[in-house]
Amino acid sequence: MNSYLFFLGQNSLLSQAELTSLIPEAKLTTPHQSIVKLDSPTSLDLPSLGCRLGGTVKIAVLKQTSSAKQLQDDLVKLLLDQQAKNFSLNLLDATNQESYELSNEVKQRLVDNQLRTRFIAPTSTGISPVIITKQKAVELTIDSDFNIYQTTWVHSFKSWINRDRRKPFVTPKSGMLPPKLARIMVNLAVGDKDPGGLTLLDPFCGTGTILMEAALQGIKVIGSDLSADKVAGTKTNLDWLDENQACAPLKPATVFQANATNLKDQLVDQIDLIVTEPTLGPASPSQDKLSDIAHGLQKLYLGALKHWALFLKPQARVVIALPIFHGQDRSYTTADFIDARENLGYNTLRNDLIFTRPGAQIERQIVVLEKQ
């Protein structure tokens, strides 16, 4: 059995759902907040897997199992073997004082062995990928059973920042779906299939965020939007992605103007997946209009799902972000209509995934459907 620690992003439930979708045979446990232990019967290709993930920031692999008596000796040997100029020890079930004392003792023994080094104090989830990358720090995490894990993969923070903040076309008044959430949604749709053989449609493509994250995984992407400006902007962003972010040329994308409830006749390819964030309504809806807004959006979403059922393959997945509006007295969940419509043509796989930001009036409910 191969054992790994996955250090998750801000929404641990979404991040765990992504892992379960990509590696269904893996066993997940949670040894610490925002950290998941994953046991796999096969060895994982961490560079390849890590580059696909949107909800994981670091991955550590089990190096060895120690004991209370042997721990300090084992840590010193591991760090000496790697001639670690910078290191960090993250004890998951210890106090800050205990971690500090152990780090100091280990450092002194390394210095006694002629290794000039310094230790970097961790937070509850260790040190950041930025520090690990820029300072070439060796990070070791020790759990309650004295298993010693070493961080061997960190996410490409520069690439994520570039796609989030530096793409040429943005629409500040739209939903501004974060790239990491878009990537998680794509992975919830793909599951353990080979992404290179799939075709994905985003019928509310906006600025192309979902299409960009799917294209980077080798998926053939098709996008449509009612707005001609957004269609043009999405094409611009995909061209920018191909020139600035992709390791290999992206597959040719198709983007066209269409109503999401009437686009079947413009599709040439068969569609394996739909991943989308549809119109969420006004950015700052007034309290007295929330019920009407939610009801109107439900009609739009219902019409779209009925139309998509006409051309989706059997067992095709739909991953859709639907708004939850919070009023002063009650909340309005727009996804309620799905379970109430037994003849809609889909099975609900998940509807328990919520994405929110502090102080936001609108939350996103991520719903995973499968075409019957």
**290: helix, strand or coil:** helix
Last residue of a domain, one of 154, 175, 201: 154
**Which residues, 6 or more positions from 38, have their beta carbon under 8 angstroms from its beta carbon?**
3, 4, 5, 6, 19, 23, 26, 27, 28, 44
Angle of the 96-112 helix axis to the 71-81 helix axis, nearest 10: 50
Last residue of a domain, one of 125, 154, 183: 154
Based on the domain organization, do 191 and 323 belong to the same domain?
A: yes
CATH number of the domain enclosing 111: 3.30.2130
Q: How far apart are CA 87 and CA 140, in angstroms?
A: 8
Based on the domain organization, do 235 and 254 belong to the same domain?
A: yes
Based on the domain organization, do 110 and 181 belong to the same domain?
A: no
Q: Is the pLDDT of residue 359 over 80?
A: no
Based on the domain organization, do 150 and 212 belong to the same domain?
A: no
Asked if residue 190 lies in contact with residue 198, where contact means CB atoms within 8 angstroms, the answer is: yes
Q: How many domains does the chain have?
A: 2
Q: How far apart are CA 14 and CA 186, in angstroms?
A: 12
Based on the domain organization, do 239 and 115 belong to the same domain?
A: no
Amino acid symbol at 358: P
pLDDT digits (tens, 9 = 90+) for 161-194: 999 999 999 987 766 899 999 999 999 999 999 9
pTM for the full predicted model: 0.95
Asked if residue 167 lies in contact with residue 241, where contact means CB atoms within 8 angstroms, the answer is: yes
Based on the domain organization, do 220 and 197 belong to the same domain?
A: yes
Based on the domain organization, do 269 and 121 belong to the same domain?
A: no
DSSP of 220-278, one letter per residue? EEEEEES-HHHHHHHHHHHHHHHHHT-SSPPPPPEEEE--TTS-GGG--S-EEEEEE--
CB atoms within 10 A of CB 228: 10
pLDDT digits (tens, 9 = 90+) for 93-125: 888 899 999 999 999 999 999 999 999 999 989
Based on the domain organization, do 175 and 294 belong to the same domain?
A: yes
Of 355, 361, 353, the closest CA to residue 294 belongs to: 361
Based on the domain organization, do 195 and 270 belong to the same domain?
A: yes
Residue 322: HSE in the Cβ half-sphere, 13 Å Cα cutoff: 29
**Bridge partners, residue 317, by sequence:** 273, 370
Per-residue confidence band for 135, with pLDDT thresholds at 50, 70 and 90? very high
Q: Is the pLDDT of residue 324 over 90?
A: yes
pLDDT digits (tens, 9 = 90+) for 271-302: 999 999 999 988 778 888 999 999 999 999 99
Based on the domain organization, do 33 and 78 belong to the same domain?
A: yes
CATH number of the domain enclosing 233: 3.40.50.150
| b/e sequence 169-178, b meaning 16+ C-beta within 10 Å | bbeeebbebb
Structure token pair of residue 72 = 């300090």
pLDDT digits (tens, 9 = 90+) for 209-257: 999 999 999 999 999 999 999 999 999 999 999 999 877 889 999 999 9
Based on the domain organization, do 112 and 192 belong to the same domain?
A: no
Based on the domain organization, do 109 and 178 belong to the same domain?
A: no
Range of the domain at 126: 2-154
| Per-residue CA distances from 228 to 60, 172, 237 (Å) | 45, 17, 14
Asked if residue 218 lies in contact with residue 196, where contact means CB atoms within 8 angstroms, the answer is: yes
Last residue of a domain, one of 154, 182, 208: 154
